[in-house]
């Protein structure tokens, strides 16, 4: 099939490369000329495992191309995906200006019947606005559809190539058949393609992310109770996760969720629910718990060292909001680090891939280290924000030797408290007992 993806951000680039990989002729269009020039050279502007070779291979085979000529890309394709950003407005609602601007451009360029799919995360009712924006510019038939993405950063290529489900909100039998054919190579193992009405598809995306965010905040609330009672949250997590009705996914306590999806999608869903007269109190609580949880490491540091951190030095392992990405949007490190600096501390940071993004955000306010152990030298404590694999089995004697005192604040529960006690660490984690030394 001939496909155009408008928007070469995270979602658009992954979708374009994966659709090309299954034999489609795909044009990725964007108005950012510099980004398009880089992509045509095979340079990937984001860190996502497996994406770079996919782009390179499909560029070389001429199944994938990049252009700034949005109008020509529309005319050249049968199916057009809108994959531009929907950042949160000041009131928390999704900003649709880019989506609707693209829709207008599509209408102006159309010379024949088209299928237009919103892949951007948009609130319920957006399909109608997209249709109106297109039909104001053309007399040609347009089928407006919703095809929300469910990609995890760090595993996006695998998620697209082997989805656990595909959601298609369609307005006609023709559009449903065409999109089902397009996605059929990705569901050969039997995972479902769910065809539904447009409103249901739009709500499904927000509901899925809100449910996952709710599970995270729920476990963080339980971790707070565990700390207050002396229970071990890991035992609680295993206990409830063994219930088949609940399952174990997204039940790990930590320093809160971040990234490009959960925070803005929960906010947008809260806004939509209030506008439609629905009770949003559950999701408002999810947000409140998450904002509090992002202060977890900071609060523990202050409890241990006091409000005045002048002269203190802290090592930070992990800057991205999760492993296998350089994305720092809404990352807990963006709460901890500025607060440490404000209190007079210095910060030495390490992250396997997010250093350049951190430099853009922090500049020379902190120091950056290519080796995680180098960040420890002379630090009063180690703070762990991200569960990168290299942090899971570190050289503990080397950590002890580098730190002024063997103090570790673990925001991802990477280590066992009893083991840290045996090794002589003062160790603080989430929802588990704190330990100070083997003698304790």
Q: Which DSSP string corresponds to 352-397?
A: SS-HHHHHHHHGGGSEE-SSTTGGGTT-SEEEE-S--GGGTS--HH
Task: List the catalytic residue out of 18, 28, 226, 261.
Answer: 261
Report the Cα 135 to chain-centroid distance in Å: 33
Q: Name the residue among 114, 105, 117 with its Cα closest to residue 140.
A: 114
| Secondary structure (3-state) at 115 | strand
Could you confirm whether 18 is annotated as catalytic?
no
The C-alpha angle 382, 388, 390, rounded to 5 degrees, equals 80
Contact of 107 with 141, CB cutoff 8 Å: no
Return d(Cα 329, Cα 215) in angstroms, integer.
Answer: 20
Q: Strand 192-196 to strand 165-169: parallel, antiparallel, or no bridges (unpaired)?
A: parallel
Return d(Cα 345, Cα 380) in angstroms, integer.
Answer: 10
Q: Name the residue among 424, 319, 437, 302 with its Cα closest to residue 369.
A: 319
Question: For residue 435, what are its two tokens?
Answer: 């330990």
Contact of 258 with 332, CB cutoff 8 Å: yes
The residues annotated as belonging to the active site are 261
């Amino acid at each position: 099939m001939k496909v155009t993806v408008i928007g070469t951000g995270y979602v658009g680039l992954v979708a374009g490369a994966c659709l090309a990989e299954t034999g489609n002729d795909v044009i990725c269009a964007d108005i950012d000329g510099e980004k398009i020039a880089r992509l045509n050279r095979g340079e990937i502007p984001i860190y996502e495992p497996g994406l770079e070779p996919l782009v390179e291979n499909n560029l070389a085979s001429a199944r994938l191309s990049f252009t700034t000529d949005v109008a020509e890309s529309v005319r050249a394709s049968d199916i057009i995906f809108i994959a531009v950003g929907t950042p949160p407005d000041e009131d928390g609602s999704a900003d649709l200006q880019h989506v609707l601007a693209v829709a207008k451009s599509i209408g102006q360029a159309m010379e024949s019947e088209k299928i237009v799919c919103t892949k951007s995360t948009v609130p319920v009712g957006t399909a109608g606005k997209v249709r109106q924006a297109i039909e104001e510019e053309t007399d040609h038939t347009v089928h407006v559809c919703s095809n929300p993405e469910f990609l995890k950063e760090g595993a996006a290529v695998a998620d697209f190539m082997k989805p656990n489900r595909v959601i298609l909100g369609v307005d006609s039998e023709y559009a449903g058949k065409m999109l089902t054919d397009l996605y059929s190579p990705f569901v050969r193992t039997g995972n479902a393609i769910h065809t539904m009405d447009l409103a249901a598809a739009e709500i499904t995306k927000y509901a899925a992310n809100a449910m996952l965010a709710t599970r995270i905040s729920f476990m963080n609330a339980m971790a707070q109770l565990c700390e207050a009672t002396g229970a071990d949250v890991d035992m609680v997590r295993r206990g409830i996760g063994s219930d088949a009705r609940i399952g174990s996914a997204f039940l790990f306590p930590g320093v809160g969720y971040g990234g490009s999806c959960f925070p803005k999608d929960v906010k947008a869903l809260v806004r939509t629910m209030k506008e439609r007269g629905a009770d949003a109190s559950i999701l408002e609580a999810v947000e409140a718990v998450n904002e509090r949880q992002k202060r977890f490491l900071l609060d523990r540091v202050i409890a241990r060292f006091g409000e005045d951190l002048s002269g203190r030095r802290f090592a930070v392992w992990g800057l991205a909001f999760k492993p296998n990405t350089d994305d720092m949007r809404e990352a807990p490190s963006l709460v901890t680090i500025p607060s440490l600096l404000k209190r007079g501390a210095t910060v030495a940071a390490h992250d396997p891939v997010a250093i350049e993004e951190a430099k853009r955000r922090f500049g020379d306010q902190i120091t950056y280290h290519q080796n995680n152990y180098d960040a420890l030298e002379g630090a009063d404590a180690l703070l762990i924000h991200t569960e990168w694999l290299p942090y899971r089995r570190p050289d503990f004697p080397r950590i002890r030797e580098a730190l002024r005192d063997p103090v570790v604040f673990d925001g991802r529960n990477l280590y066992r408290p009893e083991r840290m006690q045996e090794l002589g660490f003062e160790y603080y984690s989430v929802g588990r007992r704190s330990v100070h030394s083997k003698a304790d």
